[in-house]
Structure 1
Amino acid sequence: MTTFKDRSDVFADLGTKLSIAEIFETLVDGSVPIRLTAYDGSATGPENSEFQLDIRTPRGINYLVNAPGDLGMARAYIAGDMSVGGVHPGNPYDILRAMNQLKFRRPSALALVTIARSLGWERIKPIAPPPQETLPRWRRIALEGLLHSKTRDAGAIQHHYDVSNTFYEHVLGPSMTYTCAVYGKEDWSLEQAQENKYRLVFEKLRLREGDRLLDIGCGWGGMVRYAAKRGVRVIGATLSAAQAEWAQRKLAEEGLTELAEVRHSDYRDVPESGFDAVSSIGLTEHIGVQNYPSYFGYVKSKLRDGGLFLNHCITRPDNTRTTRAGDFIDRYVFPDGELIGSGRIISEIQNTGLEVLHEENLREHYALTLREWCENLTANWDACVAEAGEGTAKVWGLYMAGSQLGFQRNVVQLHQVLGVKLPADGNWTVPLRPWWQP
């Protein structure tokens, strides 16, 4: 069937009016891979599709017309103006996989005139997004100052992590660990794999009883507790007040306060130095690629000679594309977040004078981790909605399921990089071969 998006001459006909399904077709480059229905009774896409999108309100098509792509779709879905059939909102992985080839484009000027005439000019004026959405990057710069100032970084972290500790307990499970787990086997439980991740970091850093560890961007203190239970003295730092409060309470409950503390603090404000090791698990994504020299220089300044550093973060599969996240991630999930390939990270670590000893890619492990988080969100959906609201719960389901797909398809990766601060004479202070169990 010839659709309106295939015939630009149709848009020149001033009498043409489009149905909602036809408007959707004008926004799509190629065929619609799943069934789409709309409040005006129109439909497009395969009738036998396992999945269905339903644009329920004029506001939903407004979001799509004004932001064709993942941002407009997310707005309509999160606000409740577009429903999704065939999947649970806590885990929309299957429909995202089915929609993976769906490509959007901006409508031409003629098409936009026809869309406006079909809907009414008032209906296509930009409207306020859902309350879960933060301001676009350019407006955040105007209101909050330059990227990655201490104030702006604190706001970005609070946007994501101060949702609700109870909400995160439902999603993350008992470990309260919001970073990639490390699986020995695919059938391991999430808790087994998270414990194994901390074990791996601990062993790579050659930590021993009595050593001193600085864990920057420590979250709810999982690495802090793991190390303290083994006699290591630990300082953790997080910009999230909710995380710091939860972590301090947990340290007290487990009798670890004499060995460990978690500070509500920018890592740059930790005055102590001379640490035997520094761990950074899931922080690098937040600091900005242009700040890598000062960041890794800071790490070096905190280590004693011979001290070890482990950087664990999400990366891109190469070092050539933009570092900025897409609109949905930037507005709803990680404001100001940036990613680059492991090659750039390794180069910046080396450029500060740290020697890189080892790196590994844990991409498939993060896909497995995200699958477990989605299952937790689905199993605890009612409690999560009661705690944080349906819109916020939808954001997390959409983000985690989309990320699982991204890791599986090598859109993003997860790298651990291990480095050492050599003494002035350059002598190694570590064994000749890797000393940890994989």
Structure 2
Amino acid sequence: MTIDTHTKLSIADALGRLMKGGLPFRFEAYDGSVGGPEDSPITVRLVNERGLSYLMTAPGDLGFARAYVAGDLEVEGVHPGNPYEAMSLILSQLRFKVPSAAEMLQVLRSLGLEHLKPPAPPAEEHLPKWRRALEGLRHHKNRDATAIHHHYDVSNRFYELVLGPSMTYTCALFPTADATLEEAQYAKYDLICRKLDLKPGDRLLDLGCGWGGMVRHAAKHYGVKALGVTLSREQAEWAQKAIVDEGLTDLAEVRFSDYRDVSETGFDAISSIGLTEHIGVRNYPDYFRFAYDHLRDGGRMLNHCITRPDNVARATAGAFIDRYVFPDGELTGVGRITVAMQDAGLEVRHAENLREHYALTLKGWCENLEANWDEALNEVTVGRAKVWGLYMAGSRLAFERNEIELHHVLGVKVGPDGNAHYPLRVDF
């Protein structure tokens, strides 16, 4: 069939031309065109030309996120704090095809070549990588501090509304399918304490400690003298107040500090819960060597982080995540983490994958954001709140589909005599 490239298509028709089987959801555009099934549970509405420009200049998740966060693309039928059902439908049924040159030219002419000029991104978007390079090399201390500030120094109250009383922004451990989020976060911290074999009087270093959940749990329930470090000033201030309020000042401390500036050594245990994603794969050797050097002989390290299901994919976290959620974040497979720990001198003793638990954790966070949406908007912009709903719902799907995983890897610093101070069988 010969295509007349000068025949103008509506926006809905042009979009449909790019998809196998047509649009899987109801679509409405500002030019009055519609497409997709009338009985679809969701309707995607393109409300203006800027939204079209976002979609055309950054095809894929980044363009969609820009239009959605800016309010130029609306999704009707789901709550913006918990768009899981819409994302599940879209990601499971949306299939793009490779159009012929003539089809592509017709689509571009119909949509308007003027829309290939990128608009300014929404205020919630972080700097592109080339701009971040002006702040220093990737994962340099200054650049890391800026990246952490972008994500974590938003509003402690906002995080309270999303994360719940535990103020724990990492994967929980659900002892049963019907456990509450708080019960699951308690179970996670307790499992890590048992994996580290913590006992009263032990010294624990928690790297990237967030709001101090691990530090406070270990001090309160195991009598451990715990030090946590975080690059987020707001996290450190919140954590120190919680330590005072809980009467743990004689055992627990949280510092606003880069972990690389910790001078104390001889720790009995080191926990790293959700930090490895931020440090960069090429920095793994130095990171795990730091842990090795700061442990006593027989000391243990537990590394908890998001991983990929293989060790060959690029470590970058994707355009949307990089610009809106975790600037400079990197994910890789558990194999590379295990190798890095071994090469640093740690003897790997145990590893497990908790990806289903992270899907349940994200489900709980999305439900919290939906339930507290109005109050959340007192703390952040509508765009920022949308980013969170989009990111958490999308991440939940990724864990469910085994596109990303969550691994615990436990290592031991073996003494010069080969003694790992490790039992024949563990009880965790």
Native 8 Å contact 2:207 2:230 kept in 1 = yes
Question: Out of 212, 225, 233, which is 2:225 matched to?
Answer: 233
Aligned-residue offset at 1:258: 1.6
Q: 1:385 & 1:150 partners in 2: Cα distance?
A: 32
Residue 247 (str. 1) matches residue 249 (str. 2): no
Deviation of residue 9 (structure 1)? 2.5
**8 A contact 1:34–1:52 mirrored in 2:** yes
- Tell me if 1:394 matches 2:386: yes
The equivalent residue for 2:170 is 179
2:197 is the alignment partner of 1:206:
yes
Instruction: Select 2:346's aligned residue among 342, 354, 362.
Output: 354
Is 1:432 the counterpart of 2:417? The answer is no
Of 361, 365, 387, the match for 1:373 = 365
CA contact (8 A) 2:57 2:115 kept: no
Q: Aligned partners of 2:97, 2:378: CA distance in 1, in Å?
A: 37
- Contact 2:204–2:227 (Cα < 8 Å) also in 1: yes
Aligned-partner residue type, residue 68 of structure 1: P
Which residue identity lines up with residue 260 of structure 2 in the other structure? R
- 8 Å CA contact retained: 1:225, 1:251: yes
Q: Note the C-alpha offset of 1:76.
A: 0.9
| 2:255 alignment partner, one of 245, 249, 263 | 263
**Aligned residues of 1:359 and 1:415 also touching (Cα < 8 A):** yes
Q: TM-score, normalised by structure 1?
A: 0.94
Q: Please give the alpha-carbon distance, in whole angstroms, between the structure 2 residues aligned to 1:237 and 1:10.
A: 63
State whether structure 2 residue 163 is matched by structure 1 residue 169: no
SS at match of 2:416: coil
1:193 aligns with 2:219: no
Asked if 2 retains the 8 angstrom alpha-carbon contact of 1:180 and 1:369, the reply is: yes
Q: Which runs of 5+ in 1 are unaligned?
A: 1-6
Counterpart Cα distance in 1 of 2:376 and 2:161: 7
- Identity of matched residues, %: 62
Q: Distance in 1 between matches of 2:227 and 2:340?
A: 25
Q: 2 CA distance for matches of 1:8 and 1:235?
A: 70
Looking at structure 2, the residues matched to 23 and 79 of structure 1 have their Cα atoms a distance apart, in angstroms, of 23
What is aligned with 1:66?
57
Superposed displacement of residue 138, structure 1: 3.1
Mapped to 2, the partners of 1:233 and 1:422 lie a distance apart of 22
Per-residue displacement from partner, 1:262-294 (whole Å, max 9, x unpaired)? 001000001100000000000000011111111
Partner of 1:93: 84
Cα distance in 2 for partners of 1:104, 1:79 equals 24
Distance 1:408 1:74, change over 3 A: same
- Give the distance between the partners of 1:104 and 1:287, measured in 2 at CA: 34
Q: What's the secondary structure of 2:3's corresponding residue?
A: helix
SS in 2 for 1:339: coil
CA drift of 1:27 comes to: 4.5
Match 1:9 to one of 3, 23, 34: 3
Q: How big is each residue's C-alpha offset from its partner over 1:37-94, in whole Å with a ceiling of 9 and x where there is no partner? A: 1111111222221111000111111111111111111111111111111111110000
Q: 1:131 to 1:40 in 2, by over 3 A?
A: same
Q: Secondary structure at the match of 1:383?
A: helix
Deviation at 1:309, TM superposition (A): 0.4
Q: Structure 2 residue aligned with 1:411, among 388, 403, 410?
A: 403
CA distance change for structure 1 residues 108 and 247 in 2, over 3 Å: closer, same or farther?
farther
Contact 2:354 2:405 (8 Å CA) reproduced:
yes
What's the CA shift for 1:30? 5.1
State the Cα distance separating 1:105 from its structure 2 match.
Answer: 7.0
| Alignment correspondent of 1:47 | 38
* In structure 2, distance between residues paired with 1:128 and 1:108: 30
Alpha-carbon RMSD? 1.6
Q: Supply the distance in 2 between the matched residues of 1:68 and 1:26 (Cα, whole angstroms).
A: 15
- How far apart are residue 139 of structure 1 and its match? 3.1
**What is the deviation of 1:129?**
1.0
Displacement of 1:425: 1.2
1:367 CA displacement = 0.5
Q: Do the aligned partners of residues 108 and 73 (structure 1) sit closer, same or farther apart at CA in structure 2, a change above 3 Å counting? A: farther
Q: In structure 2, do the counterparts of structure 1 residues 254 and 35 end up closer, same or farther at CA, with 3 Å as the change threshold?
A: same
Aligned amino acid, residue 75 of structure 1: R
For residue 130 of structure 1, the aligned residue among 114, 118, 122 is: 122
How far is the alpha carbon of 1:116 from its aligned partner?
5.3
* Residues in 2 aligned to 1:26 and 1:146: alpha-carbon distance in whole angstroms: 43
- Kindly report structure 1 stretches of 4+ aligned residues shifted beyond 3 Å: 26-30, 103-124
Paired AA for residue 289 in structure 2: G
Task: State the SS of the aligned residue for 2:22.
Answer: coil
1:3 is aligned to: none
- Equivalent residue number for residue 4 of structure 1: none
Distance 2:30 2:213 in 1: 47
Distance 2:99 2:121 in 1: 20
Please tell me the residue identity of whatever aligns with 1:228.
A
Q: Is the 8 A contact 1:55 1:61 kept in 2?
A: yes
Q: Structure 2: 5+ residue runs without aligned partners?
A: none
Which residue of structure 2 lines up, in the alignment, with residue 20 of structure 1? 11
Aligned residue type for 2:386: K
Q: Contact 2:56–2:115 at 8 Å: present in 1 too? A: no
Q: How does 1:307-322 map to 2 (within 5 A)?
A: 307-322=299-314
